[in-house]
Amino acid sequence: MPTQSTSPHLPFGENKNADWYGKDILSVKQFSRDDLEYVFGVAHEMRGMVERVGTFDLLKGKILANLFYEPSTRTSSSFTAAMERLGGSVIPISEVKYSSVSKGESLPDTIRTLECYADVIVLRHPETGSAAIAAKAAKKPVINAGDGVGEHPTQALLDTFTIMEEIGRLDNLTVTMLGDLKYGRTVHSLARLLSTFTNIKLNYVSPDILKMPKEVMEEVGAKNIPQAEFASLEKILPETDVLYVTRVQKERFEDPADYEKVKGAYVIDPEIMKAAKKDMIVMHPLPRVGEISTDFDDDPRAAYFRQMEYGLYVRMALLALVLGKA
């Protein structure tokens, strides 16, 4: 794990995990515990390098195509920052309406085009499975930056890295996920990824219509991870080490009336948080739309802004990994 790194120069220049060279990152299911420890070790080194020198030339001359068919602030800009801090450059395509997509170009053709110009492609797309379709079309690595309600693997990697850096362990944890567990792709990836660790307990708190999908619960259950579902947070907040809050995903509802019923179902505020441990953390992939009161922001347990910064280091690590430089 990060703090056990044996050399300040590790792992740059080492080809230890050349397994990842040229590979796509589509799902957290690709990551073993060893892989995670390796990625976090690299991310930790990236953090040190950014703090010491800001920008360096590990990926000089490499080009990233950042292709976003859905809105994004953090994921898109942190991939851009990650590439540029490593000395590489970026082709940003976030207004697909100004690209040939609006002329009816298919995703595979757009991907084939971009890989002529770039070394790696980051893709966010509204359809589940789109990243896999893109990866099939591409020879260059494709990184899934969110495929509809499917997965958001780089977010889950940065989420677990956040837990590691903030709490110092990934085993022996009670993690409570709250909010829209049905449409929230971040929690689908995070629950799967946490099931790689030992003595993890997962609590799911959601309105009845926004429960964690059965498929995810079955996969996690197959790893013997205890999971429990709740309608309210009260009972389990005191035992929680990590409270992972999510936004109700308005854009994914088929019936807007359903959204109206569940929006604002939970609001975390300083009063509620009196019942929580002193050394726990509150995370959120952001954006928030009212589910965490801004009154809580100054509490040391509010880790969601720090979490964004950890995302930069993890994405730097992932880019270095798939481009063969870590």
Q: Which residues bind ligand NCD (CB under 6 A)?
A: 74-75, 146, 152, 155, 185-186, 247, 285-286
Q: Which is nearer to ligand NCD, 54 or 256 (CB)?
A: 256
Task: Match 């854009």 to its residue by tokens.
Answer: 251
Closest contact distance (angstroms) between CB of 70 and ligand NCD is 7
Closest contact distance (angstroms) between CB of 50 and ligand NCD is 20
Closest contact distance (angstroms) between CB of 288 and ligand NCD is 8
Q: Which is nearer to ligand NCD, 58 or 142 (CB)?
A: 142
Q: Which is nearer to ligand NCD, 49 or 317 (CB)?
A: 317
Closest contact distance (angstroms) between CB of 92 and ligand NCD is 16
Q: Which is nearer to ligand NCD, 57 or 254 (CB)?
A: 254
Closest contact distance (angstroms) between CB of 289 and ligand NCD is 8
Q: Which is nearer to ligand NCD, 201 or 247 (CB)?
A: 247
- CB atoms < 10 A from the CB of 28, how many? 25
Closest contact distance (angstroms) between CB of 201 and ligand NCD is 23
Q: Which is nearer to ligand NCD, 117 or 305 (CB)?
A: 305
Closest contact distance (angstroms) between CB of 245 and ligand NCD is 10
Q: Which is nearer to ligand NCD, 126 or 226 (CB)?
A: 126
Q: Whole-angstrom Cα distance, residue 317 to residue 325?
A: 9
